[in-house]
Structure 1
Amino acid sequence: MNPVVRDNTPVLRPGFRLQWEPVQNSHVLLYPEGMVKLNESAAEVLLLVDGKRPVADIIDTLSERFPNVPGLDEDVLAFIEVAHAQHWLHIR
């Protein structure tokens, strides 16, 4: 598997849905076999995954929302790589 780069565009895989789950008091990623409860950071990233926005735009948007967070770009890239490895995302 190639590493995710800033020019790549992530998209949720078919059958996966991101939503707020009041009972869990968090965002969750639903898929046919189950559910993943997301922490706030993961949810912030996945909420920006729309299949149109490249990783660079996701990083820029999060950098504007959360200024002065060291290593944010590396963290976003690493999370997207993990989400891809878990088959939550396609990478284009």
Structure 2
Amino acid sequence: MSIPSLAAVPTLRPGYRMQWEPVQDCHVLLYPEGMVKLNGSAAEVLQRVDGRRSVNEIIAELQACFPSASGLDEDVMAFIGEAHEQHWIRFR
């Protein structure tokens, strides 16, 4: 798995979008070939992937929202790396 730089700015790939899906009762990532159901943690991260915030800024915002979550920075880095390998996101 590739680990992104803290200064990297992730953005969803063209053709991908995230939305709340009432039927699934969760956030999903839609793309031309299908859909990925997201758990709550993945949705929290991807909601902040907007092409403006760096990985470091995303981590800082999540740490502010969830101060009792230990190891959050490593988890976010791992998820962003996995999302990049799955071709859900790219870096500017």
TM-score interval for Structure 1 and Structure 2 normalised by the shorter chain: over 0.9
Report % sequence identity. 62
Find the aligned partners of 1:68 and 1:44 in 2 and give their Cα distance.
15
User: Can you give the 5+ residue segments of structure 2 that lack an aligned partner in the other structure?
Assistant: none
- TM-superposed CA distance for 1:2, in Å, is 5.2
**Secondary structure of 1:81's match?**
helix
- 1:20 alignment partner in structure 2: 20
* Cα pair 2:19 2:27 within 8 Å, conserved: yes
- TM-superposed CA distance for 1:34, in Å, is 0.1
**Cα displacement string for residues 28-72 of structure 1 (whole angstroms, at most 9, x for unaligned residues):** 000000000000000000000000100011001000100021100
- 2:10 alignment partner in structure 1: 10
- TM-superposed CA distance for 1:3, in Å, is 2.6
Instruction: Give me the TM-score of the superposition, normalised by structure 1.
Output: 0.96
Coordinate RMSD, CA, aligned: 1.1
Which residues in structure 2 correspond to 1:1-92 (within 5 Å)? 3-92=3-92
User: Can you give the 5+ residue segments of structure 1 that lack an aligned partner in the other structure?
Assistant: none
Runs (4+) of structure 1 exceeding 4 A deviation are: none
Instruction: Give me the TM-score of the superposition, normalised by structure 2.
Output: 0.96
Counterpart of 1:6, as a letter, is L
Find the aligned partners of 2:22 and 2:32 in 1 and give their Cα distance.
20
Give the number of equivalent residue pairs: 92
